[in-house]
Chain A
Amino acid sequence: MPRSIFLIPGVGAQGGKPELLGAAFTAGRSSALVAASRGIAGDPDPAAAAERLRAAVWEISTA
């Protein structure tokens, strides 16, 4: 499914770590969508939590 977008749940509160997701981005940064809910909504600072996750995923995904 080279043109499919993989939805990747479980990051954050469910224990998934962004640094383990590199393989999901082998077709480019738009090939996967990382979902995080409680890790953002449950943080005292949701904006900072979301930005931390965004930066971490951006770091491990290929350009």
Chain B
Amino acid sequence: MASGPGTLAADLAAAAVVTHCRSLIERAGPACVAIKPQLACFERLGAPGWAALADVCAIAREAGLLTIADGKRGDVPVTAAAYAQSLVGETPTPWGPVAGLGADAFTANPLLGLDATSLCTSASPASSTASPIACWERVG
């Protein structure tokens, strides 16, 4: 575990976030089909926050819920594809594939145009059993 100022606080906060989300999933989950975790709320806790996000997604999957990573991602196509790999796909490396978050879908910011979102839905690995779902959210 990394040490340094704030590390303990991040670990404790991340654990509290998982506890909170687990409680919500247990209570509200039966009336829902999916969770939509807001990525910034996890990312602001650093590495422990991202680990907490993965834990929450796993809890949701075990509860039979879909997961929609809500990050409003959007960029030029090659970077948009990297966002897709990190959230719903995997990344090939010389040492083997690296799994992403494993979400079923993610939100994309369409304000950069269709180029910014078209590759998001084609970046899922061929071996994936689930294709990402394009979720369109009206902005502005």
* A33 in complex: contacting residue of B24, B27, B29, B135, CB < 8 Å: B135
Interface contact A47-B135, CB-CB below 8 Å: no
Interface contact B137-A47, CB-CB below 8 Å: no
How many angstroms between the C-alpha atoms of A1 and B135 in the bound complex? Answer: 11
Across-interface contacts of A54 in B (CB, < 8 A): 31-32
Q: Name the prevailing secondary structure of the B interface residues.
A: mixed
**Which of B23, B28, B135 has the most CB atoms of chain A within a 10 A radius of its CB?**
B28
Across-interface contacts of B136 in A (CB, < 8 A): 1, 4-7
As a 0/1 sequence over residues 5 to 25 of chain A, the CB contacts with chain B under 8 angstroms (1 = contact) are 111110000000000000000
Across-interface contacts of B134 in A (CB, < 8 A): 4-5
As a 0/1 sequence over residues 123 to 140 of chain B, the CB contacts with chain A under 8 angstroms (1 = contact) are 000000000011111000
Number of interface residues of A (CB under 8 A): 19
How many angstroms between the C-alpha atoms of A47 and B29 in the bound complex? Answer: 8
Cβ distance B20 to chain A, nearest Cβ, rounded Å: 8
Interface contact B34-A51, CB-CB below 8 Å: no
Cβ distance A27 to chain B, nearest Cβ, rounded Å: 13
Considering the complex, give the chain A residue whose CB is closest to the CB of B33: A33
As a 0/1 sequence over residues 25 to 47 of chain B, the CB contacts with chain A under 8 angstroms (1 = contact) are 00111111110101000000000
Interface contact B31-A7, CB-CB below 8 Å: no
Known contacts A40-B24, A47-B27; A5 and B135 CB within 8 A of each other: yes
Chain B interface (Cβ < 8 Å from any Cβ of A): 23-24, 27-34, 36, 38, 68, 107, 133-137
Chain A interface (Cβ < 8 Å from any Cβ of B): 1, 4-9, 33, 35, 37, 40-41, 46-47, 49-51, 53-54
* Listed A/B pairs (20) with beta-carbon separation below 8 Å: A5-B133, A5-B136, A6-B135, A7-B68, A7-B135, A7-B137, A9-B137, A33-B34, A33-B68, A35-B36, A46-B24, A46-B27, A46-B28, A47-B28, A47-B31, A50-B27, A51-B30, A51-B31, A53-B31, A54-B32
